[in-house]
């Protein structure tokens, strides 16, 4: 039970820290604030996390992993049609972009804030990118696209552009725009015949 309570406490600290890190940025949130808002003792934090840098790493790892699950789930539930799923990957963003506490991509933000490839958290970005590649790779290959690697990377660029645009320029229309862009990319990568048929049937 001691151990169980420890785990919960650790989780609680990570929850509070995650909220603050995402909302205000990892560099703008100090240890003191995390301690104050989670209502724990200073040493309790350092008992569970060796340093702030490692706390940041753990925050990023959990946040990106949770986001990936949320995102994949949303896409999966959006449609059963492979092509529609790819498009849903962008229209699904709209609600997120419009949510009051939207602050962009936690991983990207942290990389910009830290500006240091040697930071322990920098490793997370590669795993994150690889997960994105896998997710879109699955969607794209389900849709029967050849040269899928290139399409995947293109879609990721659009996704990244949408996330950062929604952050700095506001969410209005961004998701829809990204979806339209993805649609054009998808059509371009489908062989001409299939694309023509699809376009004709959707008209």
Partner DNA sequence: TTGAAGTTATACCGATCGGTCTTCTACAAT
Partner DNA sequence: ATTGTAGAAGACCGATCGGTATAACTTCAA
Q: Taking the CB of residue 124, how many other CB atoms lie within 10 A of it?
A: 24
- Residue 2 binding: pick among a copy of itself, DNA, none (C-beta 5-8 Å cut-off by kind): DNA
DSSP secondary structure string for all residues of 64-124: HHHHHHHHHHHHHHH-SSHHHHHHHHHHTHHHHHHSTT----HHHHHHHHH--TTSTTHHH
* The two structure tokens encoding residue 148: 């899928």
Interface pick for DNA out of 19, 37, 52, 72 (rule CB under 7 A): 52
Interface pick for DNA out of 25, 46, 62, 131 (rule CB under 7 A): 46
Positive or negative, the CA dihedral 196, 199, 202, 203 is negative
Q: Which is nearer to DNA, 55 or 190 (CB)?
A: 55
**112 touches DNA (CB under 7 A):** no
- Residue 173 binding: pick among a copy of itself, DNA, none (C-beta 5-8 Å cut-off by kind): a copy of itself
Interface with a copy of itself (CB under 8 A): 23-25, 27-28, 103-104, 107-109, 111-113, 115, 125, 129, 150, 153-154, 156-162, 164-165, 167-169, 173-174, 177-178, 180-181, 184-185, 187-188
Q: Which of 138, 142, 163 is nearest to 83 (CA)?
A: 142
Which residues form the interface with DNA (CB under 7 A)?
A: 1-3, 5-6, 9, 29-33, 39-44, 46-48, 51-53
């Amino acid at each position: 039970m001691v151990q169980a309570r420890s785990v919960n406490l650790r989780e609680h600290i990570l929850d509070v820290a995650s909220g603050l890190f995402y909302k205000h940025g990892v560099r703008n949130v100090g240890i003191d604030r995390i301690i104050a808002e989670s209502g724990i003792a200073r040493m309790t934090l350092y008992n569970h996390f060796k340093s702030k840098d490692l706390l940041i790493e753990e925050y990023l790892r959990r946040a990106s992993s949770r986001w990936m699950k949320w995102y994949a789930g949303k896409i999966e539930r959006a449609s059963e049609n492979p092509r529609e799923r790819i498009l849903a990957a962008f229209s699904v963003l709209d609600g997120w972009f419009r949510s009051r506490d939207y602050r962009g991509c936690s991983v990207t933000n942290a990389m910009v804030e830290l500006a240091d490839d040697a930071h322990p958290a920098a490793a997370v970005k590669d795993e994150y990118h690889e997960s994105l590649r896998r997710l879109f790779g699955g969607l794209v290959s389900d849709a029967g696209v050849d040269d899928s690697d290139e399409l995947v990377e293109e879609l990721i660029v659009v996704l990244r552009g949408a996330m950062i645009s929604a952050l700095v320029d506001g969410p209005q229309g961004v998701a829809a725009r990204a979806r339209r862009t993805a649609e054009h990319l998808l059509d371009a990568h489908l062989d001409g015949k299939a694309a023509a048929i699809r376009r004709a049937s959707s008209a």
